[in-house]
Each structure stands twice: as C-alpha cells, then as structure tokens.
Amino acid sequence: MMRVAVFISGRGTNLQALINVCAEEDTPAEIGLVVSNRPDAQGLRRAAAAGVPTVAIDHTTYDSRASFDAALDAAVRRARCSTICLAGFMRVLTGDFMRAWRDRILNIHPSLLPSFPGLNCHARVIEAGVTISGCTVHFARPELDSGPIVLQAAVPVLPDDDAGTLAARILEAEHRIYPMALKLVAQGRVRVVSERVRIHDAAMAGDVLVNPAGV
C-alpha cells in the first residue's frame, strides 16, 4: 500500500478527488498526511472530515525556503509517506527538496504543459487566442511546472470564456485525471525512462478534439 502525502494551500478540491480514489478497492494507495502552508486552508477541514491526519506548516514562520522545506520533508517522513501529490500548493519547493523526492512528486497544472506554465495561465490562454487548453499531471522537477508528463486532458476554449469560466471547466478535468494518475502510479504501471513516462497496458485516446468543430 503506497502512502501519499498531499500538499495543499486552499480549498482542496483536487485533494477530495484523491481521497475518493484512494477509497476504491483497486487503488493500492492511502493518504497518510495532508500538509498545508496555510493554517486556515479549507482543505484541512476536508481531510479531517475524511479521517486523514493533517498538519499546518506556516511558511511565514520560517526564515528561509530551505528551513521551510526541511519541515515539510520531516513531516512527510514521520508519516511514512513515499509519494507526494501537490494539489494547489502555492509554494515553490527548493531544488534540494525536489531532487530528494525525484520521481516521487506528482503535480497537476491547469494547462497543456509545456505551454503556459506558471500563474494566470487561463487569462494568458485567452489572450493568446488558443482554442484548446486543458490540464497536465506530471512528475515535478526543480524547474517550474516541468517534468515527465503522466496524463493530460484537453478542454475547448469557448468564444465567450473568461479566465473564471475556463478555469472552472478545466478544474472538472483535473478532478478526473489526477485520481487516474495516482492510481496508475500506485499500481506500479508508471515508469520514467529518459525523462518520458511509460505506462504499462495503457489504452490511448483515439478521438481528435477539433475546436471550433467545423461549419
């Protein structure tokens, strides 16, 4: 049984999706700890309601990123977790932390990486006139929003979208693919080979998403 630590900063909707998938019989994973850098994060209450241990590690009480990351590392190891899922965790982890947990940190980002990394990606997508966006689950690397891609979901950008409406639709897709990715990793079906992910016995999508769909 793979023990997972989930890092959050806010509402924890992706956390809830991960909690739900870990309750399924064919997911050999359990969430051993939920960590938030914000003591008032709503996601901590979600975790507590599900009976998941929580800890708040307030980044503002540490004098450096290295000391904050050391506290995160210690908490994860005390909880005997072997994998970390970043689920709306709004802190940049140090390179040393990322290297110590290489190929054991999953992240979800609300764009089709490597396009539109970083913040405010939905507004940037609309400004660029992109017609298809989406979300990406990947193994995290020290460079922001980079690393081997596990799963992606494509979401059309509609003519009347603003950043909020697009974000809401993409969030629904996040709730689908993050649990899928965690289950695949827990089942031992995912390998990283030369910085590319290989998934054993995966069914590949056969349809083409075209947007606009035609005339």
Residue found under tokens 């507590």: 48
Q: What is the pLDDT of residue 123?
A: 98
pTM of the model: 0.95
Find all residues with CB under 8 Å of 133, minimum gap 6, and list them.
110, 111, 112, 116, 121, 122, 125, 154, 155, 156, 157, 166, 170
**pLDDT greater than 70 at residue 215:** no
- Taking residues 148-156, report their average pLDDT: 97
The predicted-structure confidence for 13-42, as pLDDT tens digits, reads as follows 999 999 999 999 999 999 999 999 999 999
- What's 60's DSSP letter? G
User: Is 109 labeled as catalytic in the residue annotation?
Assistant: yes
Q: Which of 109, 122, 138, 175 is catalytic?
A: 109
**pLDDT greater than 80 at residue 210:** yes
CB neighbour burial string for 123-141, b if at least 16 within 10 angstroms, e if fewer: ebbbeeebeebbbbbbbbb
The predicted-structure confidence for 78-129, as pLDDT tens digits, reads as follows 999 999 999 999 999 999 999 999 999 999 999 999 999 999 999 999 999 9
Q: What is the pLDDT of residue 95?
A: 96
pLDDT > 70 in the chain, percent: 99
- For every residue of 78-140, DSSP letters joined together read HTT--EEEESS--SPPPHHHHHHTTTSEEEEESS-TTSS-SS-HHHHHHHHT-SEEEEEEEE-
* Distances in whole angstroms, Cα of residue 51 to Cα of each of 23, 146, 180, 182: 12, 32, 22, 20
- Give the confidence band of 213 by pLDDT, cuts at 50, 70, 90: confident
- Give the confidence band of 169 by pLDDT, cuts at 50, 70, 90: very high
- Taking residues 43-48, report their average pLDDT: 98
CATH for the stretch 2-108+137-149+171-195: 3.40.50.170
